[in-house]
Amino acid sequence: MKFQEIIQQLGDIAQDNSLITQGGFAPSEAHSSRNPEIEGVAAIDKAVSGQISYIEGGKFTQYLSTTNASALILPQDDTLKAQATARGIAWIATTQPRLVFAKAIALFYHPYRPDVGIHPTAIIDPTAVIGKEVYIGAYAVIQQNVVIGDRVAIHPQVTIYPNVEIGDNTILYSSCTIQERSKIGSNCVIHSGAVIGAEGFGFVPTAEGWYKMEQSGYTVLEDGVEVGCNSAVDRPSVGETRIGRNTKLDNMVQIGHGCQIGSNCAIAGQVGLAGGVTVGNGVLLGGQVGIANQAHIGDGAIVTAQSGVTHKVAPKAIVSGTPAIPHNLYRKGAAIYKRLPEIYQKFKEFNQYLAKLR
Amino acid sequence: MKFQEIIQQLGDIAQDNSLITQGGFAPSEAHSSRNPEIEGVAAIDKAVSGQISYIEGGKFTQYLSTTNASALILPQDDTLKAQATARGIAWIATTQPRLVFAKAIALFYHPYRPDVGIHPTAIIDPTAVIGKEVYIGAYAVIQQNVVIGDRVAIHPQVTIYPNVEIGDNTILYSSCTIQERSKIGSNCVIHSGAVIGAEGFGFVPTAEGWYKMEQSGYTVLEDGVEVGCNSAVDRPSVGETRIGRNTKLDNMVQIGHGCQIGSNCAIAGQVGLAGGVTVGNGVLLGGQVGIANQAHIGDGAIVTAQSGVTHKVAPKAIVSGTPAIPHNLYRKGAAIYKRLPEIYQKFKEFNQYLAKLR
Amino acid sequence: MKFQEIIQQLGDIAQDNSLITQGGFAPSEAHSSRNPEIEGVAAIDKAVSGQISYIEGGKFTQYLSTTNASALILPQDDTLKAQATARGIAWIATTQPRLVFAKAIALFYHPYRPDVGIHPTAIIDPTAVIGKEVYIGAYAVIQQNVVIGDRVAIHPQVTIYPNVEIGDNTILYSSCTIQERSKIGSNCVIHSGAVIGAEGFGFVPTAEGWYKMEQSGYTVLEDGVEVGCNSAVDRPSVGETRIGRNTKLDNMVQIGHGCQIGSNCAIAGQVGLAGGVTVGNGVLLGGQVGIANQAHIGDGAIVTAQSGVTHKVAPKAIVSGTPAIPHNLYRKGAAIYKRLPEIYQKFKEFNQYLAKLR
């Protein structure tokens, strides 16, 4: 595909989709004197001739002087534009290079989408209601009273327990499990090995040992939710576990029983939420973060990787560490932590000196 | 079900089960002048008319003035009893409200239990021995010489490797795997995606690279053990990995080769035990705790969430942090950590001042 | 098997394999006056009569005075040799007792290896190319254009997506998934529930919410790689995620999109690597370590358990803590952390005293 055609197609996307126009994509700013044939996409330090890449800033900027890419998506930076022009690299500029690059990838690559159809080995209970144009793969098991929307893709080896509902266009990758009392919205993606709606970890201590509390509640994933490989979203004893619209969970994320997560959050790999946690909208949780029982994270807050939240994080706060404190304070503390041995040495000297003074 | 009938039924349970009588459940203390129809259970802040809920204390107490619940399970607190009476809410009081609530849930909800029977697609090796009244779901695979007890439920897509033993009443949820040299007790629950008895991570460093140590030992889960979704309990090179009676593991818990865990422990989500760890009875490990090779946790100890234990925790100790230290010390340290920048500033002032003095 | 025969067989291995001769195994050094019948292998503190065990040093040395083992593999330590001789225990000595013990295990135990053959329920797309002498278990699903090498073992319930390549002798345990655009080398082991090649966690923030970046790259596992149960190695947006030759991953390890991991690394349980991380050769990552986006770990470095790396670790460095600092500094800091309350108390006294002085 010629570079000018890529610009044209990204422009067409822009007409359908305000993302690019909001992103400041301005085709007239492209370095249009060159029109190389583009055959694929690559990272800037790996790109070969015939590929398009991007620079968002930071350490990747340095590769502009050495990249073999034939075309680049640049930020609105005159120095970079001039440098690309000088090297004879075709380019377009935008305030959102990563977003435009994502759209460029989609011009060259279409992920595997199995054909519509129900594999003869899929076991579908006669009481299940199946939508139009679905794919149901080999050895999938769909139990009583399940309701499956239109254009749903259920990959091989998936098990869906009784009474589950799955919305339109949702994809369930191989070997995931959707257990009873789960309701999955439209346009969701559940990756391989994920388990939705299993019993929450509810045991009451008694003199005789653990008494198992039945988990009689519901697990609800709103539209556009994505759940990573081998993650688990548990069913609560009462009420709901709920994940809000367009919230994305990475791999091996644990969502305990009764958590309420808002919309448009991003929850990185191996994060764990204990029971009854409430998370606002637009929250970012870094990898391996842990959130204690009943804690609350306000809208737009960021919890950096490996931090632990025990009580409450204010809206838009950025917190770090275990127990989590404001990020700036944490960074200063961490810087001083390295000097604790030196400080302690001085402290002992003071002590001696003051003992003499007194 | 009428409230009085609930009390009656909980009373019947009490006769069979010392938990409630020990819990101080006293029907005569109930506010019996009201006898609403109860249709379900809910959390106190979510309950609607016709539901029963509970208060254990803490922050939930505040909801007593606003809840729409028709009935409550209260702690032995005269103020709360009076307040419920004044609001016209039926109630019973007990020293263990959460336990009684768990029993109330069980009056209204019965989890999905598949009917007894073997699905025609289940593949059962002719040498396997299958107990009475079992359920074996679609596409389950049971290999040579496996022994399955009575009333076992093996959900769809489960694979059981050769020579495994499964005790009576145990439930294996969909897509879990039980590998060779595993012995699962009675009344166990293995959740979806969990893997029992896979090879431990045993590699010996050599000049030529890693030499794989065969894992020739056994994996034993005693009666009443529960293993959460996508958890793994590994097989050791020699001897046993053993999880004691009634110990409960949450989701994504990693139990390394050769660990010995006592009875009645609760191990929260994403905890990881390296190899050869020994854990006593009644131990509580918070979420994301890590325990190093060969470390030991004494009976009744508590390791709080995200902590790391490198050597030894004394019986009944409560420890926190990485490396874990006594919880009280940790809390004080964490409080001071926040003030490190301020302390460091003062420290520099001292330094200057003392330099002048000398 | 007689002890002398074990020595003989380990000697035969030694002739084929420089590991043992390098290990300093010297049969002439064995205490050959005794030649007990050996029926199995065990840890030194658990061994019974008729078993062979080993001592590598450390706390296990103490068990030499009490062990019931009939034979021991000892380090080159004259005191231990004399003690074993005095107790009438047959022994051999080597500089690598653990390695020789691993080889002894292999004399007594052969892991379950299913017979060659394709189960009639395996679904193999007609376009797939299957090597010689393979095992393909019940309900395995192999999709279009998959290429499977010779002597590969594909256990029950495995799903292999279109176009995947699997090298010779590789083992895929039950219920693992290999997704599109994955290439698995020879002699690899993928444990149950692991997912190779699923979409990386790539979402671009926009004013309208998350825009999903297609993951068009490849996932490559070189020869001899092992991936633990329920781990995930993600496919990147462009380029490759690559795990180098003979690198071993334990259970529940998360490898983000675009990571480049060298050869001969060992990555312990529950480690998480965000996107674009580069790891050198021979790196050791302890359990629950987290590595941030684009961070780099140099050859031969060690990151101790639960640490968090945000930027860069130098070759051969040993680092600890979050954010990770040199291990020695971390240990000193941790020792002082415990004394922070005491230091803080003194600090307040200084403050008062100096206030008086001024």
Closest CB to A322 among B18, B246, B306: B306
Looking only at the bridges linking them, the beta strands covering C240-243 and C266-267 are unpaired
Which of B182, B192, B180 is closest to B226 using CA atoms?
B192
State chain C's mean pLDDT as an integer. 91
A230–C234 CB contact, under 8 Å: no
Instruction: Give chain B's residues under pLDDT 70.
Output: 12-33, 358
Contact A195, A177 (CB under 8 A): yes
pLDDT band for position A16 (50/70/90)? very low
What are the chain C neighbours of B339 within 8 Å (beta carbons)? Answer: 344
What pLDDT score was predicted for residue C24?
Answer: 36
Question: ∠ CA(B68), CA(B71), CA(B74), 5° rounding?
Answer: 110
The mean per-residue pLDDT over the stretch A275-285 comes to 98
pLDDT per residue as tens digits for the range C224-281: 999 999 999 999 999 999 999 999 999 999 999 999 999 999 999 999 999 999 999 9
Phi-psi category of residue B99: left, alpha or beta, with phi > 0 → left and psi -120 to 50 → alpha: alpha
What pLDDT score was predicted for residue B141?
Answer: 98
Q: Is C218 on the interface with A (CB under 8 A)?
A: no
CA atoms within 13 A on the CB side of A304: 22
A99–C179 CB contact, under 8 Å: no
Q: Is A118 on the interface with C (CB under 8 A)?
A: no
Its ipTM equals 0.93
What pLDDT score was predicted for residue B24?
Answer: 36
Strands of C158-282 (E only): list them: 159-160, 165-166, 171-172, 177-178, 182-184, 189-190, 195-199, 203-206, 209-212, 218-221, 226-227, 232-235, 240-243, 248-249, 254-255, 260-261, 266-267, 272-273, 278-279
Q: Tokens representing C191?
A: 């444990």
Tell me the C-alpha distance between C121 and A300, whole Å. 50
Q: Tokens representing C210?
A: 């998350």
Catalytic residue among A155, A257, A296, A327: A257
Tell me the C-alpha distance between A181 and B274, whole Å. 35
pLDDT per residue as tens digits for the range A46-94: 999 999 999 988 888 999 999 999 999 998 888 998 999 899 899 888 8
Radius of gyration of chain B (CA): 26
Percent of chain A with pLDDT over 90: 75
- Other beta carbons within 10 angstroms of residue B10's beta carbon come to 22
Contact B327, B344 (CB under 8 A): no
What pLDDT score was predicted for residue B163?
Answer: 97
Name every residue whose Cβ is closer than 8 Å to that of residue B335 and which is 6 or more positions away in sequence: none
Tell me the C-alpha distance between A153 and A168, whole Å. 9
Tell me how close the Cα of B245 comes to any Cα of chain A, in angstroms.
Answer: 10
pLDDT band for position C340 (50/70/90)? confident
What pLDDT score was predicted for residue C245?
Answer: 98
Q: Using CB atoms and an 8 Å cut-off, which of residues 263-302 of chain C contact chain A?
A: 270, 272, 274, 288, 290, 292, 294
Phi-psi category of residue B169: left, alpha or beta, with phi > 0 → left and psi -120 to 50 → alpha: left
Q: Is A305 on the interface with B (CB under 8 A)?
A: no
What pLDDT score was predicted for residue A314?
Answer: 98
Q: What are phi and psi of A56, to 5 degrees?
A: -105, -20
Q: Tokens representing A5?
A: 């055609």
Tell me how close the Cα of B111 comes to any Cα of chain C, in angstroms.
Answer: 26
Tell me how close the Cα of B206 comes to any Cα of chain A, in angstroms.
Answer: 32
pLDDT band for position A15 (50/70/90)? very low
Tell me the C-alpha distance between A138 and A116, whole Å. 13
User: Can you tell me whether residue A272 is helix, strand or coil?
Assistant: strand
The mean per-residue pLDDT over the stretch A252-259 comes to 98
- Other beta carbons within 10 angstroms of residue A347's beta carbon come to 20
Tell me the C-alpha distance between B238 and B255, whole Å. 15
Question: ∠ CA(B269), CA(B275), CA(B277), 5° rounding?
Answer: 75
B112–A161 CB contact, under 8 Å: yes
- Other beta carbons within 10 angstroms of residue B49's beta carbon come to 10
Q: In angstroms, how far is the first alpha carbon of chain A from the final one?
A: 84
Q: Is B341 on the interface with A (CB under 8 A)?
A: yes
pLDDT band for position C320 (50/70/90)? very high
C42–B238 CB contact, under 8 Å: yes
What are the chain A neighbours of C199 within 8 Å (beta carbons)? Answer: 111, 191
Q: What are phi and psi of A47, to 5 degrees?
A: -65, 145
Q: Tokens representing A209?
A: 């040992």
Q: In what order do the strands lie in the sheet with B90-93?
A: B40-41, B51-54, B71-74, B90-93
Q: Is B335 on the interface with A (CB under 8 A)?
A: no
pLDDT per residue as tens digits for the range A319-331: 999 999 999 999 9
A274–B269 CB contact, under 8 Å: yes
Tell me the C-alpha distance between A108 and A112, whole Å. 13
Which of A136, A142, A179 is closest to A156 using CA atoms?
A136
pLDDT band for position A28 (50/70/90)? very low
What are the chain C neighbours of B332 within 8 Å (beta carbons)? Answer: 340-341
Q: Is A108 on the interface with B (CB under 8 A)?
A: no
User: How many Å is the maximal CA-CA distance in chain A?
Assistant: 91
C193–A252 CB contact, under 8 Å: no
Query: Which of B340, B342, B344, B357 should we substitute to test contact with A (largest number of A Cβ atoms within 10 Å)?
Result: B340
Name every residue whose Cβ is closer than 8 Å to that of residue C114 and which is 6 or more positions away in sequence: C135, C137, C153, C155
Q: Which amino acid would we find at residue C106?
A: A
pLDDT per residue as tens digits for the range C342-356: 888 877 877 787 777
Q: Is C55 on the interface with B (CB under 8 A)?
A: no
Go through A313-340 and write b for each residue having 16 or more CB atoms within 10 A of its CB, e for each that does not.
beeebbbbbbbbbbbebbebbbebbbeb
pLDDT per residue as tens digits for the range A160-193: 999 999 999 999 999 999 999 999 999 999 999 9
Catalytic residue among C31, C155, C191, C257: C257
Which of A27, A4, A3 is closest to A93 using CA atoms?
A27
Catalytic residue among B31, B110, B257, B327: B257
Tell me the C-alpha distance between A129 and A144, whole Å. 9
User: Can you tell me whether residue C6 is helix, strand or coil?
Assistant: helix
pLDDT band for position C26 (50/70/90)? very low
What pLDDT score was predicted for residue C93?
Answer: 87
Look up tokens 């309208």; give the residue. Answer: C208
Pairwise pLDDT comparison (A34 vs A201), residue with the higher score: A201
C19–B212 CB contact, under 8 Å: no
pLDDT band for position A21 (50/70/90)? very low
Look up tokens 């993302």; give the residue. Answer: A19
Q: Tokens representing A58?
A: 């930071």
| Three-class secondary structure assignment of A79-141 | HHHHHHHHCCCEEEECCCHHHHHHHHHHHHCCCCCCCCEECCCCEECCCCEECCCCEECCCCE
What pLDDT score was predicted for residue C335?
Answer: 87
The mean per-residue pLDDT over the stretch C23-42 comes to 66
pLDDT band for position A17 (50/70/90)? very low
What are the chain A neighbours of C193 within 8 Å (beta carbons)? Answer: 175, 193, 230
Q: Is A95 on the interface with C (CB under 8 A)?
A: no
Least confidently predicted of A112-116, A121-125, C5-9? C5-9
Q: Tokens representing B355?
A: 């330099």
Closest CB to A193 among B96, B193, B250: B193
User: Can you tell me whether residue C296 is helix, strand or coil?
Assistant: strand
Q: Is the dihedral of CA B100, B102, B104, B106 positive or negative?
A: negative
Contact A222, A242 (CB under 8 A): yes
Q: Is the dihedral of CA C324, C330, C336, C338 positive or negative?
A: positive
Closest CB to A341 among C322, C336, C347: C336
Q: Tokens representing A148?
A: 């499956």
What pLDDT score was predicted for residue C12?
Answer: 57
Concerning whether C110 is annotated as a catalytic residue, the answer is no
pLDDT per residue as tens digits for the range C33-82: 678 999 999 999 999 999 999 998 888 899 999 999 999 999 988 899 89
pLDDT value at A353 more than 80: no
pLDDT per residue as tens digits for the range A133-162: 999 999 999 999 999 999 999 999 999 999
Tell me how close the Cα of A264 comes to any Cα of chain C, in angstroms.
Answer: 6
Q: Which amino acid would we find at residue A151?
A: R
Closest CB to A336 among B263, B270, B341: B341
